Structure 1
Amino acid sequence: MTEAPLAHLHWSRGYTDPAWVRRYTTSGRELLPSRRVWRGPDPAHSLPTGTAGIEQLTITAPDGRTLTLQDLFAAAETDALLVMHRGTVVYENYPHGLRPHDAHFNASAAKSYVGLLAATLAHRGTLDRDATASSYIPELAGTAFGDSTVDHLLHMGTHVSYAGRPFDKPVEAQRYFAVVAPPLRPYGYSGPTSIREHLTTARATAAPGTGFRYENGNVEALAEILRRVTGTTTSALLSDMIWSRLGADEDAYYVLDSEGAEAACGGFSATARDVARLGEMIRCGGAVADRQIIPNAVTAAITEAPEGYPKRVRFPAAPPSAPANLSYHDFWWILNDPYGSFMASGIHGQRLFISPQLETVIVHYGSQVMSPVAPAAPLVPAFLQIGAHLQRTS
C-alpha cells in the first residue's frame, strides 16, 4: 500500500495558512477538551526586566543572508519571542497580538518536559530505564513500544509501523492528530479514537535501540508509563513536580483524547513567560532561587547523549540534504555548539533554547507553515547570535 503525499490529505491543508495555524496554536482550549496544569498556591516568581539593544541586532543566516529581528519574525511567523540573560528578561515581543498571559501550544517542545519528568523519576529510583514498557503497561506486550525499554523510548529508539502501513513521518503525524482531535478527522475516518488504541496498532520493523526515528508514540507510551508508576495524570504530575514549584504566573494545560489521557507529545500550552521560567530553572541546575526543583544531576545530564545511540542525528523538519549535526537525549535536542546549548523544539517554530555558557534562555512561539516552499526560519543561528551578543555587551 502506497501512502498519499501529505499535500493530498485534505484534513491537513489548513496547515498551509499561517492564520489557521495561529488559530490552532493559540486556541487549543477552545477547540478540544483540556486539563489544567495547576500553577500552585504560591505567588509567581518575579522576572526582572532590562534592556540589551537586541532590537537593532542583525542576524546572519547559514546561507549568508542578513536579517533584522523583524525579518526573522516575518520568516518565522513569530507569535512570541522572549529572551532572558542571567535571569533578566532583556527582550519580549508579541508581534501578532498574543498577550503575555495567553497560553500557546508548545507542540513537540512538550516532549522534552515529559523527558524531564522521566529522568527525575529514574534518578529517584521510581522508574527503571532498563525495564520494558510492557512491564508497566501489560496491554502493550507484543507491540513495538511494549517490547522496547524505557530508555529506548526516551531516545526515539523504536522502529514502528502502524496498522501495517509503511512508515511515513508526516503522514503518521497527521494520523496522530486525527486520533486526538475529532475535528481533524477526514470524512469516513475509521481509525483509532484514543492514544491507547493507536499505540496498540504499532508493530516493530527493526529491533529497538538500533537507530533513531523521531516518532510521537515513544512519548505517549512513556507518558502512560509515568501515569501508571505515579498513579496520577500527566497534568497533575507536571504540576506536582515542576509547575507548582516554579513560581509560574499562569496555569498551563494539556488537551485530552477521548479517554481523558493527555496528548503528552505535543498537546501542552503555556505562556512564554512561564516556559522561560522553566528554562531558567534548568539553566540554573534545577533551582529557582534557593529552592531545588529538579536534581542538579538530572539537568547536568541533559547534554550527555549516552553510548549506544547515534551521536549525530538530523532535525526532523530539515531537508534530507541537511547535515546530521545534532544529538538527542531524553527528548532534548543537543546542539553540539561551543556553549553547551540544548533545546526543546516543536512544529511551527516552538522553541525553548537554553545555553548555559551564554547564560541565555530564549522562548520562541510561532505559526509558520510547514512546506518546502516556505523554508524554515534560521531560529537556532539567531538564538546563538543573540546569546553571543549578550555575552559580549554585558
Structure 2
Amino acid sequence: MTEMAPLSDLMWTRGYTDPAWVRRFTSSGRELSPSRAVNRGREGSRALPEAPADLGALEITAPGGGTLKLPELFAAARTDALVVLHRGAVVHESYLDGFEQHMPHLNASAAKSYLGLVAAVLAHEGVLDRTAATSAYVPELAGTAFGEALIDDLLHMGTRMSYAGRPYDKPVEAQRYFAVIAPQLRPFGYSGPTTIREHLLTARATGEPGVGFRYENGNVEALAAVLRRVTGLSTSALLSELIWSRLGADEDAYYILDSEGTEAACGGFSATARDVARLGEMLRQGGAVGDRQVVPEAVATTIVSGVPDGYARHVRFPAAPADSPASLSYHDLWWILNDPHSSFMASGIHGQRLFVSAELDLVIVHFGSQVMSPAVPPAPLVPAFLQIGRHLAAGA
C-alpha cells in the first residue's frame, strides 16, 4: 500500500521547501507584491561604531554534540546576512550569496514582534486598553475567533480557531495566508479570500480565548486592524512614526500589501540587517537611542520581566517537535528564552532573527533563506548566538 504524503507536504507548503522560491521570497518582496514604505525620517542615518572581532575560528556546539565554525553555520542556515553588535559596536558583519548591506530582506514573523512593540507603547500611553475585547475597537470582527478575544490574548497568541470550516493545520494555514496577499501563490481554481480582512472574517473560535497558546498569524492581523482603528494611521505610518524614524536608520523599510492596500503585518515586513540591529540596540539600551528615549523604558525593560502567568509561559517554537521541552515564554509577540542572560528574540521562518541580550551586551541580526523541511535539520542559531555573546563577553 502506498503511504500518502502528510498534508503539510502538499501543494500549500511548496513555499517552505523549494529553495529557489524561498530565496526569491525573502529578498524580492516588493518585486512580487505592492508595497508601502516605512519611512526612516529626515534626520539622516546614525552611524554604528565598528570594533571588528575575529569570530571565524569560534567553534559552535550544535545540538547532538557536533561543532560548527561560522562558515559552516552560514551554509547550514543558508545565511544571507549576519550583523553582530557588542556594546553597541559592529564586531562582525557578513553578506552572502549576492546579498548586500543596503538591501532590505524579509523579516517574516520577526515582524510580529515589532508590531507587539508598537502595541505595548500605545498601551503604555493609554491609547490602547489591553483588557478590551477586539470587537470593541473593530466591530466587524464580532462573531469571529478574534472579535471576543481580548487585546492581551492577541498579544500572547491566546486564540483557537479554524478558517472557513477547515480542520486547523498550521503549515497549510500559513501558506493559505500567503495566497490571500499574493495572487501568484494561489493554485489553479482558488476561490478563497483575496484580502486580509476577508480572511479574518472566516475565522471561527474552536476554544475559549486566553486559555492556551497557539501561534497563528490571524492574531497579529487582528491586532494590526485594532491599531489602525485607534490611531487612524496605516501600519507602515504607525511603525515609522513611533519607532523607525527615530532609530537613525540607513534605509526605508517596507511592508507588502494585499489588494485593498492593507499591510501584511504578521510577516510582510522587509528591512536591512543594520537597521534591524539598530532596533535591537535601542531595546538593549532600555528604549533609548543616544539621548533620545524612543520607546518608554518601562516598555523596553518589561519585554522579558513582564511575562504574564498562564498560557504565555512554557511554550515551544511552532516548528519544534511535539516532544521537545516547552522552555520558552511569549510576551507581547516576543520570544523570551528564559536563559541566564535575559535574552529575547524576534523570530521568522527561513532563519530570520533579531536576538537581544542586555546582560551579554549583545544584539544579533540573522537573515536567511533556509528551506523548512523534515529532511533539512534546522541550523542551531540560538546556541550560536549565545556562544558568540559569551565569547565576546569573555574577550571584553
**Normalization by structure 2: what TM-score?**
0.97
- Partners of 1:215 and 1:128 lie apart in 2 by 22
Could you tell me which residue of structure 2 aligns to residue 280 of structure 1? Answer: 281
**Structure 1, 58-67 or 305-314: larger mean CA deviation:** 305-314
Post-superposition Cα deviations, 1:225-255, rounded to whole Å, max 9, x if no partner, equal 0000000100000000011111000000000
- Partners of 2:311 and 2:76 lie apart in 1 by 34
Alignment of 1:296-311 (within 5 A): 296-303=297-304, 304-311=306-313
Alignment of 1:110-189 (within 5 A): 110-189=111-190
* 2:51–2:89 contact (8 Å) kept in structure 1: yes
Structure 2 unaligned segments of length 5 or more: list them: none
Could you tell me which residue of structure 2 aligns to residue 263 of structure 1? Answer: 264
- Partners of 2:186 and 2:213 lie apart in 1 by 29
Shift of residue 14 of structure 1? Answer: 4.6
Could you tell me which residue of structure 1 aligns to residue 202 of structure 2? Answer: 201
| Partner SS for 2:165 | coil
Shift of residue 22 of structure 1? Answer: 1.0
**Structure 1, 93-102 or 315-324: larger mean CA deviation:** 315-324
Q: Name which of 354, 357, 371 aligns with 2:356.
A: 354
Could you tell me which residue of structure 1 aligns to residue 346 of structure 2? Answer: 344
Q: Name which of 370, 373, 381 aligns with 1:371.
A: 373
- Partners of 1:209 and 1:109 lie apart in 2 by 22
Could you tell me which residue of structure 2 aligns to residue 27 of structure 1? Answer: 28
One-letter code of the match for 1:261?
T
Shift of residue 18 of structure 1? Answer: 2.3
Could you tell me which residue of structure 1 aligns to residue 335 of structure 2? Answer: 333
One-letter code of the match for 1:384?
L
One-letter code of the match for 1:268?
F
Post-superposition Cα deviations, 1:56-75, rounded to whole Å, max 9, x if no partner, equal 11100121110010110011
One-letter code of the match for 1:95?
L
- Partners of 1:39 and 1:347 lie apart in 2 by 25
* 2:13–2:171 contact (8 Å) kept in structure 1: no
* 2:115–2:265 contact (8 Å) kept in structure 1: yes
- Partners of 1:342 and 1:266 lie apart in 2 by 18
Could you tell me which residue of structure 2 aligns to residue 384 of structure 1? Answer: 386
Shift of residue 7 of structure 1? Answer: 1.6
| Partner SS for 2:314 | coil
Could you tell me which residue of structure 2 aligns to residue 248 of structure 1? Answer: 249
One-letter code of the match for 1:57?
L
**Structure 1, 108-117 or 12-21: larger mean CA deviation:** 12-21
Q: What is the total number of aligned residue pairs between the two structures?
A: 392
Could you tell me which residue of structure 2 aligns to residue 221 of structure 1? Answer: 222
Q: Rate the CA distance shift 1:254–1:196 in 2: closer, same or farther, 3 A.
A: same
Post-superposition Cα deviations, 1:209-233, rounded to whole Å, max 9, x if no partner, equal 1100000000000001000000010
CA RMSD of aligned residues (A): 1.2
Structure 1 segments (4+ residues) deviating >6 Å:
none
- Partners of 2:14 and 2:336 lie apart in 1 by 32
**Structure 1, 11-20 or 133-142: larger mean CA deviation:** 11-20
One-letter code of the match for 1:43?
G
Q: Name which of 383, 392, 395 aligns with 1:393.
A: 395
- Partners of 2:370 and 2:199 lie apart in 1 by 28
* 1:105–1:268 contact (8 Å) kept in structure 2: yes
- Partners of 1:387 and 1:294 lie apart in 2 by 25
Shift of residue 50 of structure 1? Answer: 1.3
Post-superposition Cα deviations, 1:311-364, rounded to whole Å, max 9, x if no partner, equal 210111212222111000000000000000000000000000000100000000
**Normalization by structure 1: what TM-score?**
0.98
Shift of residue 86 of structure 1? Answer: 0.2
Structure 1 unaligned segments of length 5 or more: list them: none
Shift of residue 23 of structure 1? Answer: 1.1
Could you tell me which residue of structure 1 aligns to residue 71 of structure 2? Answer: 70
- Partners of 2:394 and 2:58 lie apart in 1 by 13
* 1:18–1:77 contact (8 Å) kept in structure 2: no
Post-superposition Cα deviations, 1:276-317, rounded to whole Å, max 9, x if no partner, equal 000000000000000000000001110121123342101112
Shift of residue 13 of structure 1? Answer: 2.2
Post-superposition Cα deviations, 1:154-212, rounded to whole Å, max 9, x if no partner, equal 00000011111111101100110111111000100000000011001111111001100
Shift of residue 4 of structure 1? Answer: 6.3
Alignment of 1:6-17 (within 5 A): 6-9=8-11, 12-17=13-18
Q: Rate the CA distance shift 1:227–1:3 in 2: closer, same or farther, 3 A.
A: farther
Could you tell me which residue of structure 2 aligns to residue 323 of structure 1? Answer: 325
* 2:221–2:264 contact (8 Å) kept in structure 1: yes
% identity of equivalent residues? 70
Shift of residue 121 of structure 1? Answer: 0.1
| Partner SS for 2:270 | strand
